Structure 1
Amino acid sequence: MMKKTIAFLISLSFCIISMPAYNADYKISAECVVENGFEYDISSDFAEIVSCSDDSENIVIPDSINGVPVKAIADNAFGECTNLVTVTIPDSIEYITGNVFSGCTNLASIEVSENNAAYSCADGMLFNKDKTELIAVPSQISEAVLPDGLLAIKELAFNNCSEITEITVPKSVENIEMYAFQGCVNLENIKISDNISYVGSHAFSDTLWYKNLPDGVIYIGKIAYSYKGEMPENTEIILDEDTKSISAWAFSKQENLKNITIPESVERIENNAFFCCYGLENADIPQNVTDIGADAFKFCSSLKKINIPQSVENIGDYAFANCTSLSEIDFPDSAVYIGKTIFDNTVWLENQPDGMVYTGKIAYGYKGEMPENTHIDIEEGTKGIACCAFENCENLTGITFPQSLEYIGGSSFVFCNGLTSVNIPSGVDYIGNMAFFACSSLKSVSIPENMKTIQEKAFYQCDSLENVYYSGTEEKWNCIKVAAYNENLLNCAIHYAESSLEKGDATCDGIIDVRDVTMVNQYVVQLTDMTEQGLLNADVIADGTVDIKDLGQIKKYIIKQISEF
């Protein structure tokens, strides 16, 4: 299950889309240069076009500037090029935002160098290299034939294509992003198969096709896309039995919606689906739903009870926040990934006693004022740490995770300045973005061999971090996907399993027994010294010192109260 969960998180959206690699770090040291109508941000290794003031009808984008390759085109970079008719993209370009040609009202054709490794073109339209994603369509195109094998129509792809009157979406297309057909005011005939799995908000709202539909629930394929028209008071809606998902913003701000019956066929409830449905009293979530999007039920102030089934794997940020009447929550015991403060400002949370709060098998957070020098032992059986669970808990000086733990959510320990060491158990394979952000006293961290993904800024501004104890080999360490801004983690001393580190073996004799307890005890009371390797082995807490806490853990291991450090 966690593999699917991680895929969801990395995508940062319910609609998973690939794009060329793009290094955002360059802006820290970028130099602004204006030349031949282009404004560039230039770093040491590549340049980005941020704007263009050239009023020519035909523009050929240069492949380099001052000897630096031009690799990126920023959002709305050509927004003021109203005379532009054709544009040619060189082979050096690796990253283009979908909105790059917004405002080019006379654009008729986009051409791409055949040698470009990231992008391609067909019939004047811009695609990714293998034509699985449609990125931009010139506004002067009146007919668009989309290729079989296309998987996604990107955000604003058909922006202001007012000449188009009909479109056939291939059966291969799975995702249509938000505002995909914005400004297509004459688009009247649309053919879409039932294979579509995601339609973003306002994707068709400007079209004649949408305007000609009758009021009520609008379906696109098997997706409940939106509610059109004015909803009567105390409305009760029963969705079609074969509905697969509820689109983002589908029923948002429908204050007169009282009840909705969601069929068992539904698998996803997208972001903001019922946002600000103040009158919504009942919304039973069926047994096949896997994802509940960010803000999905936020501000549903009449909602009193919610049942979250075992099938749910991801709950987005603030999904049930500000549901001020919500007092009863039936939560599963699975490893649900929980976003930021999903139950904040609910009666349920208000009724929880101060201290650790759990939702099923997830550590939701710490409620109330935390005493100084607090050490928390997370309950055995806990499978995840929710996003922002211990955010700003400056009095937290230690935490013990159970062996049952599978993930540590984003921002879960951000600004926990009292933490000096963290021992991550063997079952954890994912650490969320900014998980230990600005833990300024953190000196050491133990990372298991099972680790697969460490997200962006997970250890950013951990300026005291000195040692990483990794239970695998250097080769396996190099296979971990470590995202940007984790230099504090990567630049400190990394101790691999192959370095003969044997936790608990203070005597370095290859056996962990009472002799190791005696050695550590004598060292703690300053009756003996230990070898450098012995000190590394004895530091089972991995906080950079050997003390009574390590002694206690070694004793527990010998008498089999714990099976590993």
Structure 2
Amino acid sequence: MKKSMAVLLIVTILSLTACNIGSEPAKESREGSFIYIVKDNEVTIIKYDGTEETVIIPDRISNKPVACIKDKAFSACSHVKEVFIPESVKRVGVCAFDDTEWYKSLKDEFVVVGDGVLIKCNQTSKDIVIPEGVKSLSSTFYKAGDGGFFDAVIYLPATLKKIDDYAFYKAFGHIIVCNTEQIEEIGQSAFEDSTVDRIIISDKLKSIKDRAFATTDKTVKRSMTIEMTGGGYYVGTQKKVKLPFATSLGKDIFYGLDGNMETVKFEDGTTAITKDMLTCLQSFAKFFIPGEVTCIEKDIFPEGAIIYTEAGSAAEKYAKDNSVKVLILPESFKDRALEKLLIPAFLSADLEFTYDNMQIITSIQIRDQVEGNVYDHYRVYVIVQAATGAKGIEHILKQDNVKSLEDLKFFTKLEYLLLESAIIDGSVDCAVLKSMPALKEAVVNNESLK
């Protein structure tokens, strides 16, 4: 018994020792005015505290290559007028040199240092072609123009394989990023809080790191379009973001974005859903599965998943047979114009467009009047409100006229209806309103019907 306890104690001590070794932070060391750490046999300079106006960064320290300049390494170094960076440097962190007089004086269109690191872009044209040879985008390289490129299209070089951490962090100006066929990784917070509108990717993308496209501005409903070639799946209910199945995903990638970004939508035409397809999708909660799907592998959805599908589909049967929650999507409305008006307002209220959610809506308003006597001649103002307090408001571009209200029969708890818009046809069929017992008030084109 004592011998067994001794063996157990030794194993426990060894295990704890191994854990401690793995979790120890890299030790800080000094070489002249440089404070640095060593990780993976490479040197990262984390701080310069010298007083020299001309700084020569060594290519090696302790016989190891200097590969990285960390975030704000030269903060409070306004006295530095010249910096020489060796070719061994592969990465430059956030605002590493921003405080120096040297960085502020750089006026070339593209300032590339070290082993192809773009640290500053002074170009202000609408088409920005980053030169070949650039292998890394220094975080906030665009700050030369005080944060924005303004309606620019940015073309990435074939030599760039990764969009670095914080590369476009807080960049603004309605930017489109192209030539990304070679990109294999999008780094942490690469586009966080930016107004990059559109990115084109390929199925070569291997990973997207934490908070890559997140937004923290709760006052603005920000959306993003990510297009790709080849088969994949859509993230969100607006079908604006498409990703490859094999791309690994970090945490909170789409945090704060508009469009219910915890949702996966499989492409129309998908006939089978396999374990391999869902390997990287375990962080999602909602899965929209088209009726064409006839085969689904067992036990592939994450715990707590909800399947949205059509009545009578193979996905509905799968959900019931495997104790997965299922919500039935409505068939196409008889009046598609009414459906197109309501869906965005539902999404604005963080409600999926399902039969279940239709039955908690208590109020619908569709009108042209925005405020007071102000009218919008190009958009229609749509409001839905639920018994739970959820409320969605959207301005939607005008489209075909609504000619029938028959589809409102699905809104069994609807109490208030106001339709005051030129988009509501003058001869709209209102017969269904008489058979809606919860409806207390209905006004259609200035006429009270209940």
**Coarse TM-score class (shorter-chain normalised):** 0.3 to 0.5
Task: Considering fraction of residues, name the structure with more strand.
Answer: 2
TM-score for both structures, normalised by structure 2: 0.45
TM-score for both structures, normalised by structure 1: 0.37
Task: Considering fraction of residues, name the structure with more helix.
Answer: 2
